[in-house]
Structure 1
Amino acid sequence: MSRSTRSTTIRIVTIALATTGLGVAGAGLAVAAAPQSGFAQAVETVVQGVGVDWSAMPENYTQEQYEAFWDAEYTGEDLLELQNIWSLDETETKARAGQMILDGKELPFAPGTHATAPLSADAEAAVGEFFAAGYTVDDAQALGALWSTDILETKARAGQMILDGQTVPVDPSGTPAPAATPAG
């Protein structure tokens, strides 16, 4: 094998290994971000199929705990409240709550206690207008601080102001959506 052929072969192998490593790292990050996604479960099945003892679930958190928590119909808002009560992160909170449910113990409140009521059609339209005008979540947080309102109320209030032709006290930091052109 000539020197240039060997150099080319080494480069190709190095690129292939680097690409494979990046792919594996990317898959690992995707699995860590969403351990219950279909992708994470597929990766777990394949890895376990070749004899590796591995789980997409974070350490000390089981599939059974996950399913018990969500199957009991607790909401995302309930999860946030439990995190506040127990001073734990999201994963630790779901693990603890799920295990309590599996053990037949009661949690501090019933499922759905902290669910957010659905928005009215008018409020949904106002929130849509808020984002269409180029406002961002950061803008909503600035307005919320100014008005002492929660994020959802802030977006709906500012969007309604836009719909009513009023000036919102904070300029949008994003790019407004292009206006729709009538079909014709």
Structure 2
Amino acid sequence: MNPSTLSTTRRPRRRVVAVGVVAAALTVVGGAGAAMAAAPTSPVAEAVAGVLAEVGIDWSAMPEGYTRAQYEAFWGAGYTPEDVAALGALWSTDDTQTKARAGQALLDGETLPVAPGSTAPEAGPTDVEVSGELPEGYTPAQYAAFWDAGYTADDLEALSTLWSTDATETKARAGQMLLDGQTPPVAPGSTPASGS
């Protein structure tokens, strides 16, 4: 085989291999970035940040200007995404700025103008709007008592799991308990939001 032909055929292969390695690396870094953005203090995000730092890539798991201490202070206090929106509206800040400012205020011992978990989620369509009428055995008074007490979708799920009931039966049962002056076993707004 001619040596000049051999070197010509190897160059394109090297380029293809090099392009493949670079593409794979970018995919890993991109995927890691998405994971880190979703949960910047998770063990996976911390491990990825450590590995990237070892190979010389400066990657912060937290957005610029938002420290891990602020993050932990804010979410650890029990704030919800709805509270972030309420504080952001008061301060005219975006979500990251809001969480950083609120977290720092908490670290400094200040009281925020919105209490943790005090902002009700935006109301979705009611059972009546979805079906046209309430299911059998579920009255408007039970419906109003349940939601007006401040229960969240996460509280509903916790009660349903506890009672082994579907959502409608859970709302009817808890709503009736409230109407009867009893206290359901899950307090309104006490269940941590799923996915926060």
Same fold by TM (over 0.5)?
Answer: yes
Match of residue 158 from structure 1: 129
Q: How many residues align?
A: 130
Say whether the 8 Å CA contact 2:127–2:133 is kept in structure 1.
no
Helix, strand or coil: the match of 2:132?
Answer: helix
One-letter amino acid of the structure 2 residue matched with residue 157 of structure 1: V
| AA matched with 2:9 | S
Aligned-residue offset at 1:23: 2.5
Number of the residue aligned with 1:39: 44
Q: Per-residue CA shift, 1:48-67, capped at 9, x if unaligned? A: 45566542000000010000
Instruction: Look up the match of 1:58.
Output: 63
CA distance in 1, matches of 2:33, 2:84: 25
User: Which residue identity does 1:59 align to in structure 2?
Assistant: E
**In structure 2, distance between residues paired with 1:21 and 1:99:** 34
Moved more, 65-74 or 28-37: 28-37
2:14 to 6, 9, 16: 9
Q: Cα gap change, 1:163/1:113 in structure 2, threshold over 3 Å: closer, same or farther?
A: closer
CA contact (8 A) 1:65 1:94 kept: yes
Counterpart for residue 94 of structure 1: 99
2:33 aligns with one of 1, 17, 28: 28
Deviation at 1:42, TM superposition (A): 2.0
CA offsets 1:63-93 (integer angstroms, 9 cap, x no match): 1000001111122221111011111111110
Q: What is the letter of the counterpart of residue 97 of structure 2?
A: E
Provide closer, same or farther for how the CA distance between residues 33 and 101 of structure 1 changes in structure 2, counting only shifts above 3 A.
Answer: same
Where in structure 2 are the equivalents of 1:63-142 lying within 5 Å? 63-116=68-121
Which amino acid is the alignment partner of residue 95 of structure 1? A
Where structure 2 has 5 or more consecutive residues not aligned to the other structure, the ranges are 136-196
Deviation at 1:97, TM superposition (A): 0.2
- TM-score (norm: length of structure 2): 0.56
2:40 is paired with a residue whose SS is coil
Give RMSD over aligned pairs: 2.6
Percent identity, aligned pairs only? 46
Contact 1:75/1:115 (8 A) holds in 2: no
Deviation at 1:11, TM superposition (A): 1.6
